[in-house]
Each structure stands twice: as C-alpha cells, then as structure tokens.
Structure 1
Amino acid sequence: MATSSAQLVETSKRLAAYQAVKDYLLPTYTRIGIGSGSTVVYVVEAIAALGPVVTASMTFYPTGAQSEELIEAAGLNLQYINKLAPGDQLDVAFDGADEVDDDLNLIKGGGACLWQEKIVATAAKQFVCVADFRKLSSQLGTSWTKGIPIEVLPMAAPRILGELKHLGSINPKIREGLPGKAGAIVTDNGMWIIDAPFPPLASGKDCNVDEGGSWTVDALADRLIKIPGVAEIGLFYGKNGLQVQSGAQKPVAAYFGMADGTVKIKTPPSTKA
C-alpha cells in the first residue's frame, strides 16, 4: 500500500510538471528559473524532453545545488542569478511549494532553500508553482503543520525563538541537521532555519490577534520579516506577476497533479474567466 501511495504522488507530480511546462514555457523564452524540491525533478525532465532544438537558446537559473545538478544532468545551459544584468528579468520560473492556499499564497522552505527560491521567483516576469494534491489547502498552516520556515542569523536564533512565541507561534524550533549530523541545519547562505508553527492563516491584509483573531498571511509576513536577525521567510505573498512588473512573490498559476490522474490549475481570482 505504501509503495502504491508513493507511486500515486510521483505520478501526480509528473503530470502537473509536464502540463505547466507545456502551458508556460514558450519557445521564444531565453531565461528560465528552476526551483528546488521533488516536483522540480519532473519540470526539468519535461523541459529536456522538448529537445535541444527548443532548449539550445535557453539559459536556466537554479535556486540551489539540487536544481543546479538537475540542469547540468539534463544537458541544459546553466547560469546563475547573480549574473542576470540589472533590470533584466527571467521570462518564467518554475518551483514547488509545501502548501498553497486559495489565494495562491505559499509556504516554502521545507528543503531549506527559501531565500534563493524567493530571489529567483521575484526575478521572473511569471512564477509558476507546480505541486501535487497534498499541497492544496484552504488556509496556510492547515496541512503543512511543521511551521513556517524562517532563515535566521545563528547568533540571533535564541532571541528570535522568543519573539516568535510572543507572536503566537506554537513551539517554534531550530531545524536540526541531517541524521547523524549534530547541530542545526546550515543553509547555503550559512544561516539556520527555524520552523515556526502558527494557527491557520487567514487571507487578506487585516489581522485581529489581540481580540482572539488569527494572523493573516500578509500581516504575519510583514511582522516576521521585520524581526532583527531574520534573513528571509518562507511565506510567498503579496502581488503576482500579473499585478506588478517585477518583484512578485506569488505565482500567476499553480498546477496540482490530482489523485485521479487529472491536473488542477489554480489562477488568481482576478484572472479567472
């Protein structure tokens, strides 16, 4: 049964990835962002399947070591986001998510690459999220209960933990390293990750914590990023690429491979027919 369930999830990821690439990777595009995570494996597979006639003129920008290896293994042209000229943008970026709510806000960072992922996503004209059915949620924090990943300066971690508890986080913890490795996990940037669980987050821009309400995505994100010692947070929120010309954190579309073999596509409310 376990093997069957695992195969179902992998099949759903592959379906979503191929559909997303078909819909959003135009042959005229030359700069493409590639995110991190298990679903992105199939994104790169789908891109490579287009063949060198299509991909030879394209350059691919990774969010970390995993996506860098995927790009090179597929024989695609590799470049780094720090080489992108000021004012230039990626045509599109593909990445996964740990949870996606009804307004296409995301929790990302389960793989500890959230800072690089946000840099690449916000450098793209269009950010497209690819995931499986387990990542669908009405509110962030409903199915992903491990907490919001927060990348922090190690020396500030103890004080940040206290601040998170003050804000209502339920038992925030410094993420431990891999099995057999003592101490905290260290990101590609030399930082630590704190996982901060909160009650499910509401949509919108207002919050009412003092009177028993819950944080909204936007309000909590704004508060977290202002904590001294926080480098970046795993909430992707605010505007999408259809609303602003640059710097969008939210996807213009999210593709979910479903358990029944279909692909569900979610777009921002304003773009729906």
Structure 2
Amino acid sequence: MPAELSPIDKAKYVSARRAVDFVEDGMRVGLGTGSTAAWMVRCLGELVREDGMMITGVATSTRTADLAREVGITVKTLDEVRWLDLTIDGADEFDPNLNLIKGGGGALLHEKIVATASDQMIVIADLSKEVDRLGTFPLPVEVIPFGWQTTKALIEEMLSNVEVLGRAASLRLNGSEPFRTDEGNFILDLHLRRISNPAQLSLVLNQIPGVVENGLFLDICDILVIGNADGTVEVRDINNGTVEHERVDLVGGENLFADNGD
C-alpha cells in the first residue's frame, strides 16, 4: 500500500478488503455509496478482473454504478435481480447495537431499499464512526421538493416532542443550489447531537407529509467490519454475538490506489 495514503484511507481500505471476503462467486451484491464503499467496489472489481469472479452488482447511486462498470462489474437494477445475497455499504455513524446513521453521501433512500432487499448487510467503517448513542452526525432526511419548507417546519415542531439534544434542521446545498438526490429530492440535515430513542424518531419522521425516508438504519446491519490504519480489522457479527480481530494483507492491489479519487 502506498505510503502517501492517509491513515483514514488505509483504515477504509482494509475494512473494504476484508468485507469482500464475504462475497462468493455468482452472488448478487448491493453496492453502497461513499468513500469507503468506493474502496469496496474497486476491491470487487479486482476480483472480477484478476480472479474471474462472476457477480452481479446493484448500485445504490449513479456514481457507484459508474464506478462499478468502470472496474468490470456487471451492474443491473434491483427490479431485474429482485433480491440480493448481501449488501456492503459504509456508515456515517454506528452504535453498540449496530444501528446506523447513513445518508452523508445523499443516497439514503436507495441504500435503505437495497439493504432491506438483501439476505445480509455488511457495513464497513473505521473507528471514528463509533458512538455510544446516535446523533453526533447530522441525520439526513429525504423530502420531496414540493412544500419542503412546510415539511421542514413540521419536522422542527415534531422534534420539540422527542428526546434529542438539538433541533436545528438545514437544507443541504450543492454550491448555491439545493442538493438533489438521484430521485430528484432534497435532503434536510437534522442536527440532533444525541438521539435517545432512534426507533421512535424514525417512526414519527416517516409519518410527516413530504418526508420520503430518513437515514436511521435500525436492525438492518448483520456484520460490521471496522478497519484500522495498521491493517487490523475487527469483525462484529450481531447475529452470532461474536467479535473477531484479524489482519489484512496490505501488499498488492497497487492499481486500486492509482486512480481512486474518492
């Protein structure tokens, strides 16, 4: 692994490298979105090109689909494959119960649909994403553009009745314009700081008119792979109740680093 990679990128890489070990020939795999997921897609592409592995990928965003095709992965839609063997994706935050906040990359709706259409969800992350309680990372909420300011006001009113430390909501921007998801929707980022009851919050958020989906991924993650800059990984299996510590080979795969601009 090139020395110029930052410690955080090394941690992302080793978590992605270890996670692709769960992928078997012939599988249908959900491909996540984000910087850590981009490492995973490139690692899978290497297995396809160099080892002849046959997999079908379902991407959670257009940029992931473009990257997957670039590295040689066959990409199909979820409607074409119907169900997936597993999904590998990153997370913006995770708690001890492997509940997640996702959506920092703006693909939370597709990510949640793909993850719940999978037999297994594997999350790849580094230790900086671990928290005692969710909420430090702003919670993304996807809303339709029509009446979004009314939807924002309704969300802020609702937040006064739930146990959170912060109640500010902001429209995500792309330059001076609203950020748009692949579905053409807007994202409101909720700066909550601490979420006492994620299940309750998720339920009430999705009952507000105009809300499409929120970034709380609860009871969806099966396995968490945490990477470290020294090449070690921790694999937590929520279903088996096991925690394993391993080391990932950092030698080889030089082509992965030459053109990964994520």
Using the size of structure 1 for normalisation, the TM-score is 0.80
Which runs of 5 or more residues in structure 1 are unaligned? 202-214, 240-249
CA offsets per residue over residues 15-42 of structure 1, 9 Å max, x none?
Answer: 01111111x1123x42111010001121
Partner of residue 222, structure 1: 203
| C-alpha distance in structure 2 between counterparts of 1:228 and 1:106, whole Å | 24
Matched, 1:148 2:139: yes
Using the size of structure 2 for normalisation, the TM-score is 0.83
CA offsets per residue over residues 49-99 of structure 1, 9 Å max, x none?
Answer: 2244755531111011111011111111111112234xxx20111111111
Which runs of 5 or more residues in structure 2 are unaligned? 161-165, 244-262
Partner of residue 45, structure 1: 42
| C-alpha distance in structure 2 between counterparts of 1:9 and 1:53, whole Å | 27
SS at match of 2:66: helix
Out of 28, 32, 35, the position equivalent to 1:35 is 32
Matched, 1:126 2:92: no
Q: Aligned in 2, Cα 1:41/1:199: closer, same or farther, shift over 3 Å?
A: closer
* CA contact 1:16–1:263 (8 Å) conserved in 2: yes
* CA contact 1:148–1:195 (8 Å) conserved in 2: yes
Give matches, 1:23-172, under 5 Å: 24-27=22-25, 29-52=26-49, 55-85=52-82, 89-142=83-136, 144=137, 147-166=138-157, 167-168=159-160, 169-172=166-169
Partner of residue 265, structure 1: 235
Q: Across the two proteins, how many residue pairs are aligned to each other?
A: 235
| C-alpha distance in structure 2 between counterparts of 1:157 and 1:51, whole Å | 43
| C-alpha distance in structure 2 between counterparts of 1:162 and 1:83, whole Å | 39
Higher fraction of strand = 2
CA offsets per residue over residues 200-254 of structure 1, 9 Å max, x none?
Answer: 12xxxxxxxxxxxxx31111111111111100111101x3xxxxxxxxxx21111
| C-alpha distance in structure 2 between counterparts of 1:53 and 1:11, whole Å | 22
User: How far off is 1:272 after superposition?
Assistant: 2.8
